[in-house]
Amino acid sequence: MTRRGLLTAALAALCACSKAAPPPAAPAPAPSTARDVVLFLGDSLTAGYGLSQEEAYPALLEARWRAEGRPRRSRNAGVSGATSAGVLENLSWSLAPDVAVAVVCVGGNDGLRGLDVGELEKNLDAIVARAQAAGVKVVVAGMRMPPNYGRDYAERFAALYPRVAAKRGVPLIPFLLDRVAGLREMNQPDGIHPNAAGHRVLAETVHSGLLKAGLL
C-alpha cells in the first residue's frame, strides 16, 4: 500500500472510532427497600436533652447493634418539649417506608403539665394504630408520674400504658426510666433528664424489651 493509502486508511479508522456509539451506562442501583429502621418517638428523654446525639440511648443502641451484627438502624425522632398530641401531629413525617419498628415513649410532658390522662391515652392509642396501619411493629414504653402529682393521677397515668398495649396487641416496656428515675447519679442536676450514665441504662432497658419481643 502506498503512503497515501496508509494515511487514508488511518484517517478512515479514526473517523470510525469517533462515530462509534459510547458503551451503555451502567444501570443505576435500585433504591433500597429494606425496612431496617427502629424509630424512636418521644420527647426530651428520647432526644437526649443536655447530651450529644451520640450519648442518647437511640444512638447507643445503633452502636450496639452494629457491633453485634444485627440488621437494625436507629432513628431518633424525639423532640424536647413534645406532648403526646405533638408526636401524633408529626407522625406522618416520621413513618418513612424504611421503618420496621417504632418505640413509642410519650406522656412525660403531658404528665408534668397535668394534662388529662384520657387525652394522653387517646393520643397514644392513635399513634400505635397509625403506625400499625403503616405496617410498622410497635413497642410501647411506659412512663410514671411521682406521687406528688396526686395518688389518683399517678395511678391512672401508669395504668394507661399497659391498657393501650393490650388493646393493640403490642409489647410493653413497663417503665422506660427503670433503674434511672429518682437516682441522683443517673440524672442531670434538674433531676428529670438522664445523664450519660442514665442513657446507658435506658439503652439496656430498651434493648432487652426489643429482644424479648423478637424485634431484633
**Which grid cell is 208?**
432487652
How far is residue 74's CA from residue 95's CA, in Å, rounded to a whole number? 13
193 part of the active site = yes
Name residues whose C-beta falls within 8 Å of residue 183's C-beta, 6 or more positions apart in sequence: 198
Cell digits of residue 12:
478512515
> Of the listed 44, 74, 84, 94, which one is catalytic?
44
Cell readout for 38 is 427502629
Strand partners, 137: 101
Q: How far apart are CA 42 and CA 19, in angstroms?
A: 61
Candidates 18, 32, 52, 190; catalytic one: 190
Are 38 and 74 in contact, with CB atoms under 8 Å apart? Answer: yes
Output helix, strand, coil percentages for the chain, rounded to the nearest 5. Answer: 50, 15, 35
* 44 among known catalytic residues: yes
Active site residue 116: no
Strands (E), the chain: 37-42, 73-78, 99-105, 137-141, 172-173
Grid cell for residue 97: 417506608
To which residue does cell 416520621 refer?
A: 94
Q: From the candidates 43, 125, 193, 207, which is the catalytic residue?
A: 193
Does the CA dihedral 99-104-108-111 come out positive or negative? Answer: positive
Active site residues: 44, 190, 193
